[in-house]
């Protein structure tokens, strides 16, 4: 596999950046996870907009235009001969001194990695996932906006560790108000009496690209959609639950905190939206 780093391609084993890079030292940088299907990159422009918005929010200037970066992403895919792939785009603050001051850094690094990914075992997409609510809450939006997709993912990792220790692959995170926010890497949706429900952006969540696609598909298919504050009670009593994310796509959830959701099997709305989503990714670039 070839990895792009700031103007050059390197073999995977030779792809390196400075140990003084503030992306490594302090998590100072931003990233995006993107998917390609059959050689078509799913919603690339939306991903790039979110990347550049994240960079702008932390005053990080990406040293190339969105159009130039899009061309590099396509070139990296082609060079690696990948059609169905996961794409990781990383922008670091660059190398600097041992200190927080970003003014003492130079040369932000733009990295593009393309590879295969399988986040969950295939049988979980058929039978459903079990999740658990964890004590690690989502970052307070006044401390670090969840809408910034930064390289500092320790908040999510600590929640993931709690889930693993509880025997689950994913964790449900609450916000500082005790409301449902999102999972460690995915947005959450509920189906209640035929209505699709998901936390709003001000619940302290990432504005997921797949999340937005699912909302669009549901509305187009005549499924009512509401973005409103949710509690664990809403999760426990929902008819259906599923998670969305670039890597996860759409995966059903059939149990939360030991409580069976709905019938304990993936529901009809979840299955319908999965069908619509996979039709969408094959036709859209």
Distance CA 58, CA 63 (A): 15
User: CA distances (Å), 132 to each of 136, 169, 245, 251, 253, in order?
Assistant: 12, 9, 18, 15, 11
Per-residue model confidence (pLDDT) at position 130: 98
Per-residue model confidence (pLDDT) at position 282: 85
3-state secondary structure string across 212-223: HHHHHHHHHCCC
Six token digits for residue 78: 């082609």
Q: CB count, 10 Å around CB of 125? A: 16
Question: For the chain, which ranges sit under pLDDT 70?
Answer: 285
Cα torsion 173, 176, 156, 217: sign: positive
Q: Residue holding tokens 């108000």?
A: 177
Which residues lie across from 88 on neighbouring strands?
A: 33, 113
Distance CA 225, CA 112 (A): 35
Cα torsion 90, 91, 93, 96: sign: positive
Q: pLDDT tens-digit profile of 74-99?
A: 999 999 999 999 999 999 999 999 99
Per-residue model confidence (pLDDT) at position 283: 82
Closest CA to 75 of 60, 63, 87, 92: 87
User: Domains along the chain?
Assistant: 2-115 (3.30.470.10), 122-283 (3.20.10.10)
Q: Residue holding tokens 């930064």?
A: 150
Per cent of the chain over pLDDT 90 is 97
Q: CB count, 10 Å around CB of 282? A: 12
Annotated active-site positions, please? 149
Per-residue model confidence (pLDDT) at position 194: 97
Distance CA 122, CA 114 (A): 21
Residue 41 makes CB contacts below 8 A (sequence gap 6+) with 34, 35, 73, 74, 77, 87, 285
Angle, in degrees to the nearest 10, between helices 44-57 and 66-79: 130
Backbone angles phi, psi at 41, to 5 degrees: -85, 120
Per-residue model confidence (pLDDT) at position 215: 98
CB 252 within 8 A of CB 270: yes
């Amino acid at each position: 596999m070839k990895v792009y780093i700031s103007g050059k391609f390197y073999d995977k084993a030779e792809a390196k950046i400075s140990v003084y890079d503030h992306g490594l030292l302090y998590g100072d940088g931003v990233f995006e996870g993107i998917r390609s299907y059959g050689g078509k990159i799913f919603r690339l422009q939306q991903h790039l907009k979110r990347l550049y918005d994240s960079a702008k929010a932390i005053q990080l200037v990406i040293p190339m235009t969105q159009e130039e970066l899009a061309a590099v992403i396509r070139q990296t895919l082609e060079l690696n001969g990948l059609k169905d792939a996961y794409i990781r785009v990383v922008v670091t603050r660059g190398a600097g001194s041992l200190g927080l001051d970003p003014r003492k850094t130079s040369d932000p690094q733009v990295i593009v990695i393309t590879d295969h990914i399988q986040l969950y075992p295939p049988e979980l997409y058929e039978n459903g996932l079990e999740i658990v609510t964890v004590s690690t809450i989502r970052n307070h939006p006044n401390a670090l906006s969840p809408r910034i997709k930064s390289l500092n993912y320790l908040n999510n990792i600590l929640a993931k560790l709690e889930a693993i220790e509880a025997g689950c692959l994913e964790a449900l995170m609450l916000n500082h108000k005790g409301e449902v926010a999102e999972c460690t890497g995915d947005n959450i949706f509920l189906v209640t009496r035929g209505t699709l429900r998901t936390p709003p952006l001000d619940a302290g969540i990432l504005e997921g690209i797949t999340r937005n696609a699912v909302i669009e598909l549901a509305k187009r298919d005549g499924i009512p959609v509401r973005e409103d504050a949710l509690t664990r009670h809403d999760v426990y009593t929902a008819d259906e639950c599923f998670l969305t994310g670039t890597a996860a796509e759409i995966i059903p959830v059939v149990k939360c905190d030991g409580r069976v959701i709905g019938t304990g099997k993936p529901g009809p709305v979840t299955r319908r939206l999965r069908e619509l989503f996979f039709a969408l990714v094959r036709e859209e670039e």
